[in-house]
Amino acid sequence: MTMTNVLVANRGEIARRVFATCRRMGIGTTAVYSDADAASPHVAEADAAIRLPGNTPAETYLRGELIIEAALSAGADAIHPGYGFLSENAEFARAVLDAGLVWIGPPVAAIEQMGSKVESKKMMDAAGVPVLAELDPAEVTEAHLPVLIKASAGGGGRGMRVVRELAELRDQIAAAQREAESAFGDPTVFCERYLETGRHIEVQIMSDTFGKTWAVGERECSIQRRHQKVVEEAPSPLVEKIDALRAQGPEAVAERDHGGPVRSAGGSSMRDRLFEAARLAAEAIGYEGAGTVEFLADEKGDFFFLEMNTRLQVEHPVTEQTTGLDLVRLQLQVAAGLPLPATQPALRGHSIEVRLYAEDPAHDWQPQSGPVHKIEIPFTAAEFTVLDQTGVRLDTGVVDGSLVGVHYDPMLAKVISYAETRAEAAHLLATALQRAKIHGLVTNRDLLVRVLRHPAFLAGDTDTAFFATHDLAVLSAPLATEADEALSIVAAALADSALNRTTSRLAGLTPSGWRNLPSQPQTKSYESRTTGTHEVRYRFTRTGVEVEGHDGLELISVAPDRVVLGVPGERGSVRRQFEIARYGDHIAIDSPLGPVAVRRLPRFTDPSAQVAAGSLLAPMPGSVIRLGAAEGDQVRQGQPILWLEAMKMEHTIAAPATGILSALNVTVGQQVEVGTVLAVVEEQEQEQE
């Protein structure tokens, strides 16, 4: 079977990833896009693009009949589902086949069997794969707590909730059902016992139509936020550690476990047991194509089946890097009826992937929206391509000027390092991220760098509670210290002064500069998101510049976009170079000290721009889906006032203090922009006992 044109029923980074392999194989490409994605890079890169009217997933990427119609009208003969949306929807897969198109995915029966996480666990249990027992939400008692609510039809953290109080169960189930319906079109959820800590290990499988199944390699994805993976790597540090101990003999394992039992499953390595369990899972359902079998493991090497993803995973690049395989190419070949190669490649080196999100980890992971003015990752050797030597790979769905909206996941890019050792891969990736130019949005970049450099991470001591264990506030702190940020803002002020002088000359005005008599300091003010207002007072002299609070600072060179300063130190002056970029009043300052973003403050403020004390501002654009109080109600600090839906997730807006809800400015269904005053709480003083 020969494929000539593939439609990708998805968007952003994954569409670009599939298109890249198609181009290398000489296969044509077709994109689909919502109105919100009309200017997306994946649309421009395709040979043909078909509009799906609307913005939300329910209107567009979840409309299987529209996608099939698009494929037929564009002359595509195959559909690749990517991940998310309809990628694990058996009805869609069946409809694709019924339309005479090639389905680049597993058999419909396999999707159906794994599509219900409830039924799939029963099947895996029968096949001999270890599982965690599933709980009926109606039968959960105090003895079962804590429990994890999960969406039966999907993953990626959508529709997942941890419940520790029985009184919260009903409301959390309802919230999980709404998220599952929004993300997957299926509100079905279930419960299982929640393990507070554990290691998330998954095995990449690839099966052809001739009965051959490869366990391609394992990945570890233990560092997660809201049950969604943030850092992924191959091979797994836990598997490497346990198998290294086992190679030393049972005594070494027993000593590590403080005399505890050694569960060695007949002496097999943990990797062998994982691979065998994954193959059992695939063979039990007659699997074909790429898939992932996910497990939750403990520190002794025992593991339990979580779910099987009947699609390509977000984190597949780390497996590609450590095997040299192009997994999308293998998907296309299997779908075309070709067998897997005769020999499976050996594992090589180490690869780490981080997900760069437009979100604020320090403020409850609030997703961000707006323009991406610039995204530039240094040391990038390739995009969407397997590296053959040490370097950085970038898989991204955005480019300079892209707009991040509110309808989809806020992931900007996957940044992947590859090196001979884990330590080298972590160091390379951390350095690339710190020196990256990411302008326009708050991101989780600083958090990622701190994780990659954390002693526990470097030691391989990671689990699903990593952020709780190591203090999220510390991990999400800015990379630039307060002193380094202040120095960066001084550089911005001097660059702005240079820009003003250049503009004055172009306008025929007399430029400011040094004078025979001492002049009054010039002042420029900036606002930092983390440290507040900074006022820079400086005076140019015959020999350079004087900056209040920065004695001994030497001005080496200054231009509107670049400043070099000599910074006094214990052993003499150290040169520091700063690059400055402007986007209206917003200024990005990049240097090896760490990225800094500030807003230039006007000399005079507009009183009408002030908001009342106690105002609750929308942290992101979104839709009001529920109200938790009415105007005039007495509310307590932390009480939910309303819920916003943005980027397929629910976000709670709570009272900042105990008092009266004096104003409620929104209604259910209303769309709001970031900064909108949603409500006002008039604080009441607490009575003294």
Q: Is the dihedral of CA 503, 505, 508, 509 positive or negative?
A: positive
Beta bridge partners, 415, equal 354, 394
| Interatomic CA distance for residues 274 and 235, integer angstroms | 12
| SS3 state of residue 217 | strand
- For residue 266, what pLDDT is reported? 44
Per residue in 217-259, pLDDT (tens digit) is 999 999 999 889 999 999 999 999 999 998 887 665 555 554 3
Per residue in 335-370, pLDDT (tens digit) is 999 999 999 999 999 999 999 999 999 998 989 999
pLDDT over 50 (residue 262): no
- For residue 83, what pLDDT is reported? 94
| Interatomic CA distance for residues 630 and 650, integer angstroms | 20
| Interatomic CA distance for residues 576 and 591, integer angstroms | 8
Those residues whose C-beta lies under 8 Å from the C-beta of residue 471, and which sit 6 or more positions away, are none
- For residue 258, what pLDDT is reported? 46
Average model confidence (pLDDT) for the chain? Answer: 91
642-647's contacts with Cβ under 8 Å and 24+ in sequence apart are 642/666, 642/678, 642/679, 644/618, 644/620, 644/672, 645/182, 646/367, 646/369, 646/406, 646/620, 646/621, 646/622, 647/367, 647/369, 647/406, 647/407, 647/408, 647/409, 647/410, 647/620
CA dihedral of residues 65, 67, 69, 71 (deg, nearest 10) = -150
Given pLDDT bands bounded at 50, 70 and 90, which one contains residue 689? very low
Those residues whose C-beta lies under 8 Å from the C-beta of residue 655, and which sit 6 or more positions away, are 616, 629, 635, 636, 637, 638, 639, 641, 661, 681
| Interatomic CA distance for residues 366 and 368, integer angstroms | 6
* Total Cβ atoms within 10 A of residue 579: 14
| Interatomic CA distance for residues 597 and 586, integer angstroms | 7
Beta strands 391-396 and 380-383, pairing class: parallel
Low-confidence winner among 307-321, 383-397, 597-611 (lowest mean pLDDT): 597-611
| SS3 state of residue 387 | coil
Instruction: Work out the average pLDDT over 601-620.
Output: 75
Q: What phi and psi values does residue 86 have, to the nearest 5 degrees?
A: -100, 15
| Interatomic CA distance for residues 495 and 559, integer angstroms | 6
| Interatomic CA distance for residues 349 and 419, integer angstroms | 6
Per residue in 501-557, pLDDT (tens digit) is 888 766 565 555 555 555 678 999 999 999 999 999 999 988 889 999 999 999 999
* Integer angstrom CA distances of residue 252 from 259, 260, 268: 10, 11, 15
Instruction: Work out the average pLDDT over 120-135.
Output: 88
Question: Residue 13 has what DSSP assignment?
Answer: H
Per residue in 566-588, pLDDT (tens digit) is 999 888 899 999 999 999 999 99
Residue 372's Cβ-count burial label (10 Å; 0-12, 13-18, 19+) is buried
Low-confidence winner among 207-216, 289-298, 500-509, 598-607 (lowest mean pLDDT): 500-509
Which domains, from first to last, does the chain contain? 5-104 (3.40.50.20), 133-193 (3.30.1490.20), 199-235+272-475 (3.30.470.20), 482-600 (3.30.700), 607-683 (2.40.50.100)
**Considering the entire predicted model, what is its pTM?**
0.85
Q: Is the dihedral of CA 9, 10, 16, 17 positive or negative?
A: negative
* Integer angstrom CA distances of residue 140 from 28, 132, 136, 144, 191: 51, 15, 7, 6, 8
What single-letter amino acid sits at 365? W
Report whether 485 contacts 528 (CB < 8 A).
Answer: yes
- Helix ranges, 267-315 (H): 270-284
* Integer angstrom CA distances of residue 437 from 311, 411, 489, 543, 591: 32, 16, 17, 32, 10
Those residues whose C-beta lies under 8 Å from the C-beta of residue 113, and which sit 6 or more positions away, are 119, 120, 123, 285
| Interatomic CA distance for residues 658 and 258, integer angstroms | 50
Those residues whose C-beta lies under 8 Å from the C-beta of residue 143, and which sit 6 or more positions away, are none
Cis peptide before 41 (omega within 30 of 0): no
Beta bridge partners, 28, equal 5
What single-letter amino acid sits at 378? P
The listed range with the strongest mean pLDDT (123-127, 401-405, 421-425, 606-610) is: 421-425
Question: Residue 227 has what DSSP assignment?
Answer: T
Q: Is the dihedral of CA 358, 361, 367, 373 positive or negative?
A: negative
DSSP 440-461: SS--SHHHHHHHHH-HHHHTT-
Those residues whose C-beta lies under 8 Å from the C-beta of residue 247, and which sit 6 or more positions away, are 269
- For residue 254, what pLDDT is reported? 55
Q: Is the dihedral of CA 399, 403, 404, 407 positive or negative?
A: negative
* Total Cβ atoms within 10 A of residue 377: 20
| Interatomic CA distance for residues 464 and 483, integer angstroms | 34
pLDDT over 70 (residue 380): yes
Of the candidates 237, 215, 143, which has an alpha carbon nearest to the alpha carbon of residue 462?
A: 237
Q: What phi and psi values does residue 137 have, to the nearest 5 degrees?
A: -50, -30
Given pLDDT bands bounded at 50, 70 and 90, which one contains residue 609? low
Beta bridge partners, 342, equal none
| Interatomic CA distance for residues 532 and 610, integer angstroms | 16
Instruction: Work out the average pLDDT over 189-216.
Output: 92
DSSP 325-361: --HHHHHHHHHTTPPPPSSPPPP-SEEEEEEEESEEG
Report whether 3 contacts 77 (CB < 8 A).
Answer: yes
pLDDT over 70 (residue 103): yes
Per residue in 443-495, pLDDT (tens digit) is 999 999 999 999 999 999 999 999 999 999 999 999 999 999 999 999 999 99
Instruction: Work out the average pLDDT over 265-293.
Output: 91
What is the separation of C-alpha 76 from the centre of its chain, rounded to a whole number of angstroms?
A: 31
* Integer angstrom CA distances of residue 622 from 368, 499, 651: 11, 37, 9
The residue assigned the tokens 């005079």 is 604
Beta bridge partners, 616, equal 679
Of the candidates 649, 592, 645, 658, which has an alpha carbon nearest to the alpha carbon of residue 618?
A: 645
Beta bridge partners, 199, equal 297
